[in-house]
A and B are shown apart, each in its own frame.
Chain A
């Protein structure tokens, strides 16, 4: 079956350029991973990866969204067992009313649990809680030979550690069990502080890490000269006021994909100005609902459409702490000079909790993420230059956001790649993997 709308969130590679078969799953008991000659498989959850790690051009996608049943919820201990196609939003709907939340969550709640594991996602509390994978107690992995293997720290450990962050290449996760975070409230106590430059950012971040569970900063990627790195810092804790009821979040939508990008220099200037203005209005302490705090962009359905038919690329790197100040400044300067940056760049200091996955992206240091409208060669050249800076400072690029890094950059980012590759299922593959695999393994 061919369906055209199985693309990635960045809409690059272009949806029209893709030729993929789709095999939807409906029940754990009826999964068929048999293939015809030369056919390859890749699990596809909800398509929130930005680049080509969730695509399998020329092959088959196993659409996991239909595996969306809850299996067990221990509301005393805070442990949930559910199928891999369940969305984080569905998990929240189930667990929040009884006082639980995710231990770690990415910036959108429309990812599947399988996707959260396969990309070992992280959130604003990385410095306190590590990645999503840190809280996975176990999962069932189905391999193409039909075996269903329970994987945990104690059982099938190699497959456990390679599947977390393993980009769907080690087999199909059918269900997973993970621990949850106790919360008293559906509100967050948030403090917003604006900062003038990178030094101030590092200072605020350092003084916040201890007493705030969540820290993140948005910076203006258009700022120049001494203002480079100016932005807004948000730090927050779960509120202790006992109120677990949440108001239904409002959602607007960008229903069409315009032929050109609505993000350009002038619209950006206006947006960044409004953002600064709005943040300065909210400066200081206030209380926010849990959903808009964690998932601000989820309130605009299909926001990726604003970049038009050429789509966009997201760039996320991490730089080890020892080089961070200098390198982040250098990267921001390059972006500022290129005048290609978009909206707000996100800056966050990762903590020291080790991610379990062999291919997990987060590691101690500073991570920077930003969107770029797809301007073709000009952009690819800039990003390649940024890669060089990142790699020479022992940093890494995040595969879940990537659509174009070189094989060399990928190898330099993930020292455990060689070991990882021994766990790949022989018939699983992805557009991303074929692009970066190279011949060094």
Chain B
């Protein structure tokens, strides 16, 4: 049985992953914004086999409250084995382009809040000299695309932060896993036209579970995104800027 904190637990991918944790009888501490949905998810996960479960309603943009999350979770479960950070928003890029405030807000939700949480999380696990941090970044963070660079730069910041953190924590016995999903059919991407490149949250959740079980470093999900991004990263900048991606 693992003791797991799930931050952004109402996200579609987080919920699907939690079902796999629950099926193994893990203990879960869920954090999210919407109380009604957190309650429903908790009931469901209990039935699916979660050993024990508790939730906390918290807007993650209130960075000063982040330490409370870990305090309360530790009170509930004792030593934590896994910290899973899954929250995020998909900005409306064209609106952000016209507004400094919106841009900063989106960057804050997708990068600053994650970096704050990671700072707390890494200090806690470092003290234990064990455990695992799993964060959902994105393939969007691998390259700055014209159509989605606010989200992309936030995810890119998270990916690079994690890469550094991995070096620091691995020596202390703490594992850091970066999850880079491609296009996933979730609440966040509702309203976008879908094609064959899209995959289901269940499939991505399975990939996350495998990454956790096998203690991977960086995982593209589904796996073919590794090859797609390999090629995308090879495109020289002077061509990339003309592709209108």
- Chain B residues within 8 Å of A, Cβ to Cβ: 12, 34, 36-37, 40-41, 43-44, 47-48, 185-187, 190-194
Contacts and interface: CB of A to CB of B under 8 A. Distances in A.
Contacts of B190: 1, 24, 26
A94 B48 contact: yes
Interface stretch (A70-78, A108-116, A275-283): A70-78
A27 B43 CA distance: 14
A336 B40 CA distance: 54
7 contacts: A1-B191, A2-B193, A3-B194, A24-B185, A26-B186, A26-B187, A72-B47
Nearest to B44: A69
A29 B36 contact: yes
Contacts of B43: 69-72
Contact of A70 (B12, B48, B187, B191): B48
A155 B44 CA distance: 26
Nearest to B188: A26
B41 A69 contact: yes
Interface in A1-24: 1-3, 24
A94 B193 contact: no
Contacts of A261: none
B47 A1 contact: no
A28 interface: yes
Contact of A71 (B12, B44, B185, B187): B44
Contacts of B193: 1-3
Nearest to B15: A69
A83 B188 CA distance: 21
B40 A27 contact: yes
A72 B48 CA distance: 11
A70 B44 contact: yes
Nearest to A70: B47
Q: Considering the complex of A and B, which 3 residue pairs feature the smallest CB-CB distances, nearest first?
A: A69-B44, A70-B47, A26-B187
B182 to A, nearest CB: 17
Interface string A173-194: 0000000000000000000000
Secondary structure of the B contact surface, majority rule: loop
B19 to A, nearest CB: 9
B12 A28 contact: no
Nearest to A29: B36
Nearest to B42: A69
The range of chain A's interface size is: 10 to 19
Contacts of B41: 69
A29 B191 contact: no
A10 to B, nearest CB: 22
Contacts of A69: 40-41, 43-44
B36 to A, nearest CB: 5
A238 B110 CA distance: 52
A26 B47 contact: no
A429 B170 CA distance: 58
Contacts of A71: 40, 43-44
Contacts of B36: 29
A29 B187 CA distance: 13
A26 B34 CA distance: 13
Contacts of A66: 12
Contacts of B185: 24
B37 A27 contact: yes
A1 B40 contact: no
Contacts of A29: 34, 36-37, 40
Contacts of B192: 1
B35 to A, nearest CB: 10
Interface in A38-74: 66, 69-73
A96 to B, nearest CB: 13
A28 B37 CA distance: 9
B37 A1 contact: no
B37 A94 contact: no
Contacts of A1: 190-194
B133 to A, nearest CB: 27
A91 to B, nearest CB: 11
A24 B187 CA distance: 9
Interface string A89-114: 00000100000000000000000000
Nearest to A69: B44
A94 B47 contact: yes
A142 B108 CA distance: 37
Given A1-B192, A29-B37, A29-B40, 17 more contacts: A1-B191, A1-B193, A24-B185, A24-B190, A26-B12, A26-B186, A27-B40, A28-B40, A69-B44, A70-B43, A70-B44, A70-B47, A71-B40, A71-B43, A72-B43, A72-B47, A94-B48
Nearest to A2: B193
A369 to B, nearest CB: 30
A243 to B, nearest CB: 20
A71 B40 CA distance: 7
A94 B36 CA distance: 23
A303 B161 CA distance: 46
B169 to A, nearest CB: 34
B40 A73 contact: no
Contacts of A24: 185, 190
Nearest to B16: A68
The CB with the most chain A CB atoms within 10 A, among B47, B48, B192, B194, is that of B47
B175 to A, nearest CB: 28
A372 B76 CA distance: 59
A24 B186 CA distance: 9
B184 to A, nearest CB: 12
Contacts of B44: 69-71
The CB with the most chain B CB atoms within 10 A, among A1, A69, A72, is that of A69
Contacts of A2: 193
A439 B122 CA distance: 69
A425 to B, nearest CB: 23
A72 B12 CA distance: 21
A28 B44 CA distance: 13
Contacts of A3: 193-194
